[in-house]
A and B are shown apart, each in its own frame.
Chain A
Amino acid sequence: MYLTDNAVKDRNSRMRRVRAVEKTAEMIVSLCAFTAVAAVVSITLYMIANGIPAIQQVGCKDILFSAVWKPTAQEPSFGILYIILTSIAGTFLAILISVPLGLLTAIFLSEVASKRLAAMVRPAVELLAGIPSVIYGVLGMMVLNPVMYRLEQRIFAGSRTHQFTGGANLLTAVLVLAVMILPTVINISEAAIQAVPPELKASSLALGASPVQTIFRVTLPAARSGILTAVVLGVGRAIGEAMAISLVSGNSVNLPLPFGSVRFLTTAIVSEMGYAEGLHRQVLFTIGLVLFGFIMVTNLILNGILRGERKA
């Protein structure tokens, strides 16, 4: 077809406009992505820059591997070993409770319950996820702490070494954490179980396996990377939680014993940042850096799992 000059001009300008729109969209999208990356990088740099000075001043060993935390004493000591151990123990115990419970709930929802029942339970789980952490803390304080106190009085009756906590102890914190991460574990592992191809289950049943055998021998192994993801995300959530556990854990620095009053990495920052000064304040930043390190490690593990998944 023969095009007039005008038509050619028209078409060219339209194409130019289209190209301009493309370019702009590309730039906006890139800019947004860059913002996220910039935030991560600057936070990382900031944490390191603020966390390192105290380490240089006090010494790595005297912070990380000393158990004496007396930041405001005449001769201050900044050992955070018990605090680190508390965070590790608390997270580990919470996971130990939450993963079996969450996994079995996920199995129930996806494999056992009728559609109607599952549709009733699922919103409850979602609600659990939506409750603000401070509410968990308050509930723990009102409900669990008194129970723990009664238990404590029973167990340590007549003990001269035990320091009574009034029920604000590691165990309460663990229970609160366990409930808080339950929705994460349930949702992620249910999604993983749902993603297992139905033919795989059918093959197992067709070999004469019972439904329960099929769940435990085929479905769960097939969903394992998703379940591991659930565990890792649960760990991430538990280790970073501050508000709820600061209300129920007693908040003194001790070796993490079930009925002992304890302080976590997060609750140490929460409870001291308000008044800390000088070196004390800098050590709190170091605690933040340690926490940051833990989160980084869980994320690396998660990435490793997901990469392994893609390869398989």
Chain B
Amino acid sequence: MTQGKVITKKLNIYYGSNHALKDVDISIRRNVVTALIGPSGCGKSTFLKTINRMNDLVDNVRIEGKVYLDGADIYGRGMDVTRLRKRVGMVFQQPNPFPMSIYDNIAYGPRIHERKSKAQLDEIVERSLRQAAIWEEVREGLYQSALRLSGGQKQRLCIARALAVEPEVLLMDEPTSALDPVSTLKVEELLCHLKKSYTIVVVTHNMQQAARVSDDTAFFLAGEVVEYDTTARLFSHPTDKRTRAYISGKFG
């Protein structure tokens, strides 16, 4: 195993006096799906938002320790936040397409990062929508408002939108918690496909989902990483008794 795609060293995060992450040391493998599990408020979203520096937007946040992407310190000098966010895409819990056409939603990122010809954009839009397994459903109505789509379609559109800028890492914060079971299944299938080309970190509340889609799992509790291992091992032979209690549904 070579060096991890994303590595944190003694990462500590405070919101004011609230110590939200405590000495998190993690090395996320490339081209696998890593699931983050744990009860609400334990710092999963905080951890995720640290990797693409969305935490910078929060007032009163203090970040200590290091986060490396391919060995480069993302909080270091000379790290361009917009470049970083292009490399580390994010999908939110609530599907939130922009109030514009499906096409413009997907083309939004590429247009921002580079001047592109119409033909190039067409290609990117189709590729991204195919990758997100929604092309067949929307190919006839690319210029219709994205707000007309169903919840599950919207979420896959948002995934396509994130993929359109060709990120290396894809962060997903409970991407299926607002979706119906059928859409959830579609998104899960998607993850298994996408990990061939992307490093994926997904927060989930759903233990079965973590077991189904992820290769590695990290169990967070009260801001600490209690256990971090391959999903198979973590679910079959948890070493910490808190992990055992959580995955057997004793709390959470």
Contact = CB atoms under 8 A, between A and B. Distances in A.
Interface in B120-179: 145, 147, 158, 161-162, 165
Contacts, number: 64
Contacts of A222: 98-99
Contacts of B147: 312
A197 B89 CA distance: 19
B166 to A, nearest CB: 11
B4 interface: no
Interface stretch (B15-23, B80-88, B207-215): B80-88
A204 B96 CA distance: 10
Interface size grouping (class) on chain A: 10 to 19
B26 to A, nearest CB: 21
A40 interface: no
A218 B109 CA distance: 12
A210 interface: yes
B83 A208 contact: yes
Nearest to B108: A207
A206 B96 contact: no
Interface string B96-112: 10111000000011001
A312 B98 CA distance: 12
Nearest to A203: B96
B54 interface: yes
B96 A207 contact: no
B165 A205 contact: no
B89 A207 contact: yes
B237 to A, nearest CB: 36
Question: Could you tell me the dominant secondary structure of chain A's interface residues?
Answer: helix
A204 B89 contact: no
A217 B100 CA distance: 10
A206 B54 contact: yes
B161 A207 contact: yes
A208 B54 contact: no
Nearest to B112: A209
B92 interface: yes
B52 interface: yes
Nearest to B54: A206
Contact of B112 (A202, A207, A221): A207
A21 interface: no
A213 interface: yes
Interface string A188-228: 00000000010110111111111001000110011000000
Contacts of A210: 82
Given A199-B92, A312-B145, A207 B109 contact: yes
Contact of A207 (B57, B86, B99, B145): B86
B37 interface: no
A194 to B, nearest CB: 16
B102 to A, nearest CB: 15
Contacts of A221: 98-100
Nearest to B99: A222
Contacts of A209: 82, 108-109, 112
Given A208-B85, A209-B112, A213-B112, A203 B54 contact: no
Contacts of A200: 96, 98-99
Question: Could you tell me the dominant secondary structure of chain B's interface residues?
Answer: helix
Contacts of A208: 82-86, 109, 112-113, 165
Contacts of B165: 207-208
B202 interface: no
Contacts of B92: 199, 202-203, 206
Contacts of A203: 90, 92, 96, 98, 158, 161
Given A202-B54, A203-B92, A205-B57, A312 B99 contact: yes
A137 to B, nearest CB: 41
Interface string A3-26: 000000000000000000000000
B46 interface: no
Contacts of B86: 207-208
Interface string A170-184: 000000000000000
B94 interface: yes
A312 to B, nearest CB: 7
Contacts of B158: 203
Candidate in A199, A202, A205, A312 with the most chain B CB atoms within 10 angstroms = A205
A211 to B, nearest CB: 9
A206 B108 contact: no
B106 to A, nearest CB: 11
A60 B13 CA distance: 75
9 closest A-B pairs by beta carbon, nearest first, are: A208-B86, A206-B90, A207-B109, A208-B85, A208-B82, A199-B96, A209-B112, A222-B99, A200-B96
20 contacts: A200-B96, A202-B57, A202-B92, A203-B161, A206-B52, A206-B54, A206-B92, A208-B82, A208-B84, A208-B86, A209-B108, A209-B112, A210-B82, A218-B108, A221-B99, A221-B100, A222-B98, A222-B99, A312-B99, A312-B145
Given A203-B92, A203-B98, 5 more contacts: A204-B98, A206-B52, A217-B112, A221-B99, A222-B98
Interface of A: 197, 199-200, 202-210, 213, 217-218, 221-222, 312
